[in-house]
Amino acid sequence: MRKRSPVSSILAVVVLTVIACGYLPLARQAPPTPTPTKTPRANGTPDPTDTPVPPTPPPPTATFAAPPTPTSPPPTDTPAPATPTAEPVPTDTPAPPPPTDTPPPPPTDTPAPAPTMPLLEGESWDMEESFVPGHSPLGEDCGGWAVATGWSAFVTPGNPASSCLNENKNPTNVHRGQRSQELTFDFTATTAGIYRTVSVTPGHRYAISAWGKHIRSASPVELTLGIDLSGGQDHQAASVQWFPWNEPAEDAWVHTEETITATGPSMTIFLRAHHPQPAQGGATLFDDVSVRDLGP
């Protein structure tokens, strides 16, 4: 029987040891297997060809996957909880006192405002009713003397005579209707006019309107509107307020209007014409007067 060489025995022991112990730890690398040294046989018998044992493959290296790193969501701005508001402590509110029976004030007797009077115009205010014949209050000879119904005349001594009043029906000398009141001033320097008194309500305002015309003269006639709030009938009294005519012109109908506040139960309206010099011309006409109650 053939004896095994010591080298082979050593190799066999190594192989068995590896098989018995299993693979080396995964993290360790197996050591290289030493190459056997040939020992010549003592008897000169050639040794069998030593077939090298194939190298043992290295054990597989285990790859451990790193556990996933947990990703934390970004922090959110969570509002801090509101500080609780302290509940108000109820207070004992005293009950309101019981209502007292206050008697209502007695009604006051407020007088109703006085009604406004109707508009005064037309008819006698427009010199249309009729004309009353008469004579000069100064006793002068004035043929055809006449004054419109509802009106009275006043004249002053003139140079060389006073004025005469009469009815005028010439269409060019009438503002409205068919008649007008005429005052003559031809070649005389004087003052004359007409007036009338009307009932009014104290505290009410009144708009007084009138139309006048005077024929051209070298000494132009001056027209004025007079109002006596006391109801007096003297055109020379200090209580008469005189207002210049609004529209000065000759040979044309011109208008004037004034608003006053009544202070008594009546007032007097004056229409006055003044011829400064005894020049030719100057005949004056009045027509279409009205009084409007504007109320308080």
pLDDT digits (tens, 9 = 90+) for 75-117: 555 555 555 565 655 566 666 666 667 777 776 766 666 688 9
Secondary structure letter of residue 279 according to DSSP: -
Instruction: Output the pLDDT for position 99.
Output: 65
Instruction: Output the pLDDT for position 53.
Output: 46
- In the CATH scheme, what is the homologous superfamily, with its name and number, of domain 123-295? Galactose-binding domain-like (2.60.120.260)
Sign of CA dihedral 143, 147, 152, 154: negative
Per domain, the residue ranges of the chain are 123-295
Other residues' Cβ atoms within 10 Å of the Cβ of residue 205: 16
Is the Cβ–Cβ distance between 259 and 294 less than 8 Å? yes
**DSSP conformation letters of 104-173:** PPPPP-PPPPPPPPPPB-SGGGGT-S-EEE---TT----TT-EEETT-EEEE---BS----EEEE--GGG
Is the Cβ–Cβ distance between 222 and 288 less than 8 Å? no
CA distances from 271 to 193, 207, 290 (A): 5, 15, 12
Instruction: Output the pLDDT for position 46.
Output: 46
Instruction: Output the pLDDT for position 23.
Output: 44
Instruction: Output the pLDDT for position 96.
Output: 67
| pTM over the 0.85 mark | no
Instruction: Output the pLDDT for position 55.
Output: 52
Instruction: Output the pLDDT for position 38.
Output: 47
Instruction: Output the pLDDT for position 102.
Output: 73
**Low-confidence residues in the chain, pLDDT < 70:** 1-100, 107, 109-114
Q: Give CA angle at 151 (145, 153), nearest 5°.
A: 50
CA distances from 269 to 51, 132, 144, 225, 228 (A): 167, 19, 25, 7, 7
User: Which one, of 201, 194, 285, lies nearest residue 233 by Cα?
Assistant: 194
Report pLDDT digits (tens) over 112-135: 666 889 999 999 999 999 999 999
- Rounded to an integer, what distance in angstroms lies between the CA atom of residue 208 and that of residue 201? 15
b/e map 52-73, b = 16+ CB within 10 Å: eeeeeeeeeeeeeeeeeeeeee
Does the bond joining 160 to the residue before it have cis omega, within 30 degrees of 0? yes
Instruction: Output the pLDDT for position 293.
Output: 97
Instruction: Output the pLDDT for position 42.
Output: 44
